[in-house]
Amino acid sequence: MISLLDYGAGNVRSVRNAITRLGFELTEIERPEDILRAQRLIFPGVGAFGTAMHCLHQRGYIEPLRAYLAAGRPFLGICLGLQTLFEGSEESPGVEGLGLIPGQVRRFDDQARSVPHMGWNGIRLCKDSPLLDEQADAKMYFVHSYYAAATADNRDWVLALTDYGQPFISAVQYQAVTALQFHPEKSAAAGLEIFKRFLAADLSTAPARRHNKPPPAPQTQPAKRIIACLDVRTNDQGDLVVTKGDQYDVRERGVVRNLGKPVDLAQRYYQEGADEIAFLNITAFRDFPLADQPMLEVLRRASEAIFVPLTIGGGIRAFTDNEGQVYSALDVAAEYFRSGADKISIGSEAVLIAEQYRARGGTGDGSSAIEQIARVYGNQAVVISVDPRRVYVDNPKDTTHHCIHTEQPGPNGETHCWFQCTIRGGREGRDLDVIELVAACQALGAGEILLNSIDRDGSGHGFDLELIQQVRQAVTIPVIASSGAGTPEHFTALFAAVDVEAALAAGIFHRREVPIRQVKSALRAADIETRD
Ligand code: 1PR
């Protein structure tokens, strides 16, 4: 019997999907006594440390869980499911963890690296493990702002280390108890293999708590992520299609371009090695996204077959439907998460939120979509999709906005520009620049920036490095560079010039001009770390 400990604090759909995909059935832990009856127990911790411990207490799970773990019975903890095994965490001061492993969980220093640590990284195995032995060379998908460090007191527990500025514990193991800081359900084939081994292998032979080899050198390196993006909308025939614009104009001779079916294309990109897939519902700003059942169905079907992170954006804001029923932005996001999203992206609404934040003198009031969604699903689940356009000026004094000297002069030879935020798919420019936007969104709790460029979108002329550089310097959260990729060299030039975590492209992948593997080969040839 495989039992899932879901304490209801977040989205564990992808764990369910991975296990179902492997042909296993899950039962739910519903009462404290179910824990001791479990034959294999999976604990995918989601949300904040304090919330997780609170839920476990409330449901009376603490004592049976401690007894199950102390007996070394088959257990697979994921992410927070590893962190709660420790004594406590900086994330929730004063809250006691399960206390099985000595040590406190700490926050990464965002002065040194982008936080959260989001993306693919390696593992250095410190002992033999029936679950991880075959996966020692694979990269796994991590997303966390807090980590546990190896110490003399917990060294016997350490199964694997990973490096992100400093080494941290990426897996622990004692008898048949294993816990992973990374997400096997989002780590493609390597992650599914770990599940398979946990679900099917004879774990009674797992070595007891013993630190039997020094962790191998060299240190692991986080990979630059390559993201395939699908702009999705209904075409004039009423079919949901992947489309692609030039400077956001998706019509050719008046007709919406149709580049394929969303689920089919997304699956193709997963098979071809995309590190992440993004769906942008590009007309959701004018329709009520929860009425768009085909789009939600696309997400459901994609999440059943794709085991890398899925982001979905479009229309995340409060709505009142025709019957007068009010939906909050959190309600919209919750439906996207329930349908299989790992992250949601907010475009137009983020611009309006940033304007209000600035009007209040740089404070939030807790009610914005960014704050609400980050509070429930975590900062890492909130991506801000930015749609900027260049506004040229002769002299920086001609604007109050963050202005740069540009190497790409304007149409009248202007030597300076600022990057204006737009809403409604680029249709409306606002009196807000990208730096004001991203700084406000980070302060309110966003976890990542997806940085488009209307000027470069669909052009194939390469990324707008000046824009990307400016945004990189303004935030400490991860940045995804987007728009304009035309060749593999554009990706190498991007990563060589700016320390962003990811690059996103659409047109070249849809039109099969450049396969994802070719992009990765070019990166490897330039000594830039990727996931194979
Ligand atoms: O404003 O919260 O409803 O979200 C709408 C979302 O839809 C936003 O994320 C916005 O970027 C996106 N969107 C709206 N209209 C369009 C359009 O094209 N008409 N697409 C649109 C934006 C930009 C990228 C694109 C890259 C790479 N697409 O996602 O994929 O530019 O393209 P390339 O590699 O071909 O150059 P809301």
Catalytic residue among 163, 231, 342, 457: 231
Ligand 1 centre and the CA of 434: distance in Å? 16
Residues 307 and 176 in one domain: no
The single residue of 6, 126, 163, 183 carrying the catalytic annotation is 183
Q: Is 185 a catalytic residue?
A: yes
Both 253 and 144 in a single domain? no
Whether 95 shows a pLDDT value over 80: the answer reads: yes
The answer to pTM > 0.85 is yes
Is position 337 within any domain? Answer: yes
The answer on 301 and 165 residing in a single domain is: no
In a domain, 506, yes or no: yes
User: In angstroms, how far is CA 273 from the centroid of its own chain?
Assistant: 16
217 vs 374: CA distance, rounded Å: 36
Does 86 fall in a domain? yes
Q: Which atom of ligand 1 sits closest to the CA of residue 424? A: 1
Q: What is the pLDDT of residues 171-188, one digit of tens each?
A: 999 999 999 999 999 999
- Does the residue 427 lie in any domain? yes
| pLDDT higher than 70, residue 477 | yes
Task: Please pick, among 387, 433, 448, 455, the residue that the annotation labels catalytic.
Answer: 387
191 lies in the same domain as 113: yes
Q: Cα angle vertex 514, ends 250, 449, to 5°? A: 60
79 is annotated as an active-site residue: yes
What pLDDT score was predicted for residue 13? 86
Q: Read off the CATH number of the domain in which 305 is found.
A: 3.20.20.70
- Residue 430's CB: how many other CB atoms inside 10 A? 16
> How many distinct structural domains can be found in the chain?
2
Atom of ligand 1 nearest to the CA of 249: 19
| Same domain, residue pair 153 and 116 | yes
Within this chain, do residues 245 and 97 fall inside the same structural domain, yes or no? no
Q: Give CA–CA dist 60/375, Å, rounded.
A: 24
pLDDT at 292: 77
At 295-338, the pLDDT tens digits run: 899 999 999 999 999 999 999 999 988 888 999 999 999 999 98
- 489 CA distance to ligand 1 middle (Å): 23
Q: DSSP code of 15?
A: H
Residue 406 forms part of a structural domain: no
Residue whose token pair is 């593992």: 123
Within 13 Å of residue 358, how many CA atoms lie on the same side as its CB?
16
Residue of 269, 282, 504 to mutate, ligand 1, most atoms within 8 A of C-beta: 282
The number of the ligand 1 atom at minimal distance from the alpha carbon of 281 is 7
3-state per-residue secondary structure call for 7-20 = CCCCCCHHHHHHHH
400 in a domain, yes or no?
Answer: no
- Residue 430 Cα, ligand 1 centroid: separation in angstroms? 17
Q: Tell me if residue 231 is catalytic.
A: yes
129 and 238 within one domain = no
Residue 255 CA, distance from chain mean position? 33
Contact 108, 81 (CB under 8 A): no
Cα of 281 vs centre of ligand 1, distance in Å, is 8
Asked if 368 and 447 sit in the same domain, the reply is yes
Say whether both 179 and 235 belong to one domain. Answer: no
pLDDT of residue 203: 72
Do 336 and 302 form a contact (C-beta atoms < 8 A)?
no
Q: What tokens were used for 368? A: 């914005």
Does the annotation mark 229 as catalytic? no
User: pLDDT at position 205, please?
Assistant: 63
Ligand 1, residue 505: give the atom nearest the CA: 34
User: For residue 190, how many C-alpha atoms fall within 13 Å in the half-sphere facing its CB?
Assistant: 23
Name the 3-class secondary structure at 140: strand
Place 46 in a pLDDT band, splitting at 50, 70 and 90. Answer: confident
Q: What is the extent of the structural domain holding 52?
A: 2-200
- Is 243 found in the same domain as 163? no
3-class DSSP state for residue 241? strand
CATH code for the domain of 147? 3.40.50.880
Task: For residue 372, report the distance from its CA to the centre of ligand 1, in Å.
Answer: 23
Q: Is residue 395 part of a domain?
A: no
- Determine contact, residues 472/442, Cβ cutoff 8 Å: no
Residue 270: inside a domain: yes
CA distance 444 to 521: 38
R_g over Cα of the chain: 23
* Residue 321 and residue 366 in one domain: yes
- Provide residues with CB under 6 Å of ligand 1: 229, 231, 244-245, 248, 250, 280, 282, 284-285, 313-316, 345-349, 385, 387, 425, 452, 457-458, 482-485, 505-507
What are 353's two structure tokens?
A: 């939120």
Q: How far is the CA of 88 from the centre of ligand 1 (A)?
A: 41
Which atom, in ligand 1's list, is nearest to the CA of 315? Answer: 3
196 and 251 together in one domain: no
